[in-house]
Structure 1
């Protein structure tokens, strides 16, 4: 007798303690990028898969031997093809004095799993691994396959998933589910693109004692330009009519999450952050060179010519001669249709498990999901999260959130792979 969707749902709930233990074991591994070796985490994941009867492979991508990539596969050769994507590396913990508990505690305290990576994204990764394990050992008949893609350099270089996509590992994927943290009130179905903009101001050197009268200060010239950087945020994206609901959802999620005046515009307008300023060499010399590096995020549909025109206008408004702009286009804004079978199934299952509305929405940042969407693969992000601790102190995630995420992943995989 073949297992049903309800059977597999019950299997998840029966094994929930195993899931939580897996989360804790992953968090206890100290693999901060780029401080620590990723080898203990890689070996742990491969050993877990092997213990579940799942063969895995290790690949060396663009990041080299220190940051290997792991793939695995279960299911049949014919049918629907699903990719589960995640990363095992975590950001550094920072100052130990900022933590209320050991950053690598990996224990449950007051209903929360505590430690670095709990939300981003060791618990999300555990859900992916656990889902494959349940399906494998249950003997469920899948009308298709599930492929695991796991990187360990996402928090630094982010080349692991890119390498997989460029080397055929995502070929033919009908759905991609990235376990990055979102919380249960939203499904991330689109992201902004990325532009790295560098402004370079050229001046004329001179002795600092005569700076007002001799020389041309490149730092001051650059500063006049940066006073106008917010003009770039007037550039808007271009969305199709059928994307209107997702845009509206996105503004709601942004307001809930960031809680700042006017923050809804971060979804459908360009954002610009001056992240690095460099200039000068000596305090007593008029600097002849200064640069600013600006992180620009591009809403869906943004045309590059619009951005260049906005930068030209900013420079003109500043009235600063001798300032050059250099553009490094990293990624375009990207999105998955909210009417796709993947999104429809996931939304239905989230709302059934939580009894609350879930809003498919676009993200104001970017992630590895963009690499799959570039290939035309319907891609979402969904994973357990407490957003307050991500990349900060005292990171944790609710046990309930993790268990329910596993329920939702199983129900959705059943929908996609023909288990009724």
Structure 2
């Protein structure tokens, strides 16, 4: 394991040193790093492309020698932004190891997992003939944009075998995410007469009307249900007007509703539309408020005995780790996969600090156990000895 550990760390360091901020950096260089590594070990792989033809990720495939289901390990290789680089105590692309911690943006989310999963594919490839089904490693280069382009391209690829389940390599050694709240998002456009702020006749503008609607939304009660986390409605942005002397005629409001199995996207949309109707009736404007749905994902929850959750939890227990199954508040690729009928786990990996913040890092001391857990889980799913 020492040789594997050193090789995983070396690849992870090179990935961290290659900036790949989602929506900011060209992700070609970070994919080049991975392709050189995969090619050097003879692992079959190919680039995945989105609807516009741009590269969205890499797919590694190791086919077993016997019929069976395919299982997927997924890690993103794009990252969150650096934020205020002056607040970091080391460069965001340091890629160094200090006191046992790998430091730099993406060390936790999720370049170390990408390095581990590539090594797992290389580890299993020589014995693929003993295995049933196959293992795919998805390296998503379009995750932090929120588009999840790699996962979408993978599911849409006619050459790829549809996975029976996916394990997503987000960090954190104490929990395995086996579910998450869903979401329904919309943009509300509030209208009002325009005018001059200094006019003799007072004009109630769109921003003022929108502020009243925001208060109504904030005061809306959402139902409770049996899902581990309750639904939640949050106003996340408001935009309207410019300058000082013009009373604006429109204002846009972003609304994010976190949904559950019982309070899903249809219920969320009905609730928001009811609040908007009450607002328009109580404070009429020149036009009704527009409700523009943007996106929705279902909530999901895997039972502990359903694969791949069962294999991962059992492998963690075999390694002496106390890992609890968790339903997450934020949505993740698991919600996208759930909408496609593909069960997924997330959130098992190395201990970490500074995720999406300053001084991101992971503790490499647990790398052998985490690697061993995934290896044991994958072998169990593929019917290996």
Query: Mean alpha-carbon deviation: is it higher for 170-179 or for 311-320?
Result: 311-320
| Aligned ranges 1:20-419 → 2 under 5 Å | 20-62=9-51, 64-65=53-54, 67-76=55-64, 78-137=67-126, 141-156=130-145, 157-168=147-158, 171-181=161-171, 183-210=172-199, 213-232=201-220, 234-237=222-225, 239=227, 247=228, 267=229, 269-315=230-276, 316=278, 319-322=282-285, 323-353=289-319, 355-386=320-351, 388-419=353-384
- Structure 1 pair 201–349 and aligned structure 2 pair: CA distance change class (3 A): same
Unaligned segments of structure 2, at least 5 residues = none
TM-score relative to the length of structure 1: 0.83
Deviation at 1:330, TM superposition (A): 2.4
Q: Is the 8 A contact 1:191 1:300 kept in 2?
A: no
- Structure 1 pair 34–305 and aligned structure 2 pair: CA distance change class (3 A): closer
- Structure 1 pair 167–238 and aligned structure 2 pair: CA distance change class (3 A): farther
Q: How many residues are paired up?
A: 378
Deviation at 1:389, TM superposition (A): 1.0
Counterpart Cα distance in 2 of 1:139 and 1:202:
62
Unaligned segments of structure 1, at least 5 residues = 1-11, 240-246, 248-266
Deviation at 1:170, TM superposition (A): 5.7
RMSD between superposed Cα atoms in Å: 2.3
SS in 1 for 2:130: coil
Deviation at 1:189, TM superposition (A): 1.3
- Structure 1 pair 23–403 and aligned structure 2 pair: CA distance change class (3 A): farther
Q: Is the 8 A contact 1:63 1:153 kept in 2?
A: no
Cα deviation per residue 1:153-212 (whole Å; 9 max; x = unaligned)?
Answer: 11113222112213346644222111123x12211111222222212211112221137x
SS in 1 for 2:86: helix
- Structure 1 pair 235–385 and aligned structure 2 pair: CA distance change class (3 A): farther
Query: Mean alpha-carbon deviation: is it higher for 198-207 or for 298-307?
Result: 298-307
Q: Is the 8 A contact 2:350 2:370 kept in 1?
A: no
SS in 2 for 1:136: helix
- Structure 1 pair 36–304 and aligned structure 2 pair: CA distance change class (3 A): closer
Counterpart Cα distance in 1 of 2:220 and 2:148:
27
Counterpart Cα distance in 1 of 2:221 and 2:53:
37
Q: Is the 8 A contact 1:63 1:159 kept in 2?
A: no
Q: Which has the higher helix share?
A: 1
SS in 2 for 1:154: coil
SS in 2 for 1:25: helix
Q: Is the 8 A contact 2:70 2:161 kept in 1?
A: no
Query: Mean alpha-carbon deviation: is it higher for 123-132 or for 14-23?
Result: 14-23
Deviation at 1:386, TM superposition (A): 4.6
